[in-house]
Amino acid sequence: MKIAVIGADGQLGTDICAAVDNAGFELVRLTIEHIDVSKMESVSTVLKEINPQLVINTAAYHHVEQCEDNPVKAFEVNAKGARNLALVCNDVDAALMHISTDYVFDGKKRAPYVETDKPMPLNVYANTKLSGEHFVEAIAKKYYVLRVSGIYGKAPCIGKGGMNFVELMVKLSREREEVRVVDNEFLTPTSTAEIANQAVKMISSDAKYGLYHVTAEGSCSWYEFAREIFEITKPNVTLNKAAPGEFAVKVNRPEYSVLENKFLEDQGINVMRHWKEGLRTYLTGE
């Protein structure tokens, strides 16, 4: 199978390329140098020339504050980009695997969200990502939409300035005597290598087309995430909980965005491990 990966030099795209390549599929890496998903002409020309059987789209405009200030650009990349890909994938008879986000939810459920729960996005980024999902679901004949959460990977996260939360905590723990982290927002930290592994499992096992939650197992607050990072790296630093409101936030975000991989579980193909195991592997290679 020939697989084209868009956003190939990004945090998630890098690991997806490695996993696709290791699994023996024919891989075409596409970066912004090769394709601009927001431009129909670019998408059409490039994908028709490659003629892939599967397109994996990890490209996004996902800096949450910047999206709030540039809603048109956010819509162009996150929503129209998904629409362009869905239309061209139909033309070349390719399936589309499109990456979305836990931020489509408002967090009020306070229990893990399943794929059938109703989204309620709180900000521009989340609204445009949900629009992207809707375009894919309405247009693409063969698609997987994968909602991921709290991702970190070895390749820099380009859209958010390069540093993921794990690397930030490691850096701060070397520079400071005390690190303070919020304890009132809950997520499932997920390593991009684990998502890539799961994506390949889905492709290799002919998973049903549709919407999937793809996160590590379990959940934690950002404070608990930092505590586990320091459990493994053992820095000489004091970790404390930040006081409510200590860090100013400009944009509304869900305080709870834990997802359950229900559709993967239903098909017996959920290979995601507990978030603490994924974190240990990321930090130690074990």
Residues binding ligand NAP (CB under 6 A): 6-7, 9-13, 31-32, 35-38, 58-62, 77, 81, 99, 101-102, 129, 148-151, 157-160
In this complex, which beta carbon is closest to ligand NAP, that of residue 55 or of residue 269? 55
Nearer to ligand NAP (CB atom), residue 73 or residue 237: 73
> Is the Cβ of residue 12 or residue 179 nearer to ligand NAP in the bound state?
12
- CA-nearest of 171, 174, 148 to 235 is 174
Tell me the closest approach of the beta carbon of residue 234 to ligand NAP, in angstroms: 25
Largest distance between two CA atoms of the chain = 57
Say if residues 210 and 197 touch (Cβ distance below 8 Å).
no
Distance between CA atoms of residues 253 and 15, nearest Å? 27
Nearer to ligand NAP, 148 or 179 (CB): 148
Q: Amino acid identity, residue 172? A: L
Element (H, E) at 151: strand 151-152
Q: How far is the CB of 158 from ligand NAP (least distance, A)?
A: 4
CB of 217 to ligand NAP, least distance (A): 17
CB atoms within 10 A of CB 219: 21
Q: Give me the least distance between CB of 271 and ligand NAP, in Å please.
A: 19
Measured CA to CA, the distance from residue 115 to residue 130 in angstroms comes to 13
The residue of the chain with the least Cβ separation from ligand NAP equals 10
Query: Which CB atom, from 238 or from 247, has the smaller least distance to ligand NAP?
Result: 247
- Its sign, for the CA torsion 113, 71, 195, 222, is negative
**Minimum distance, C-beta of residue 148 to ligand NAP, in the bound complex (Å):** 5
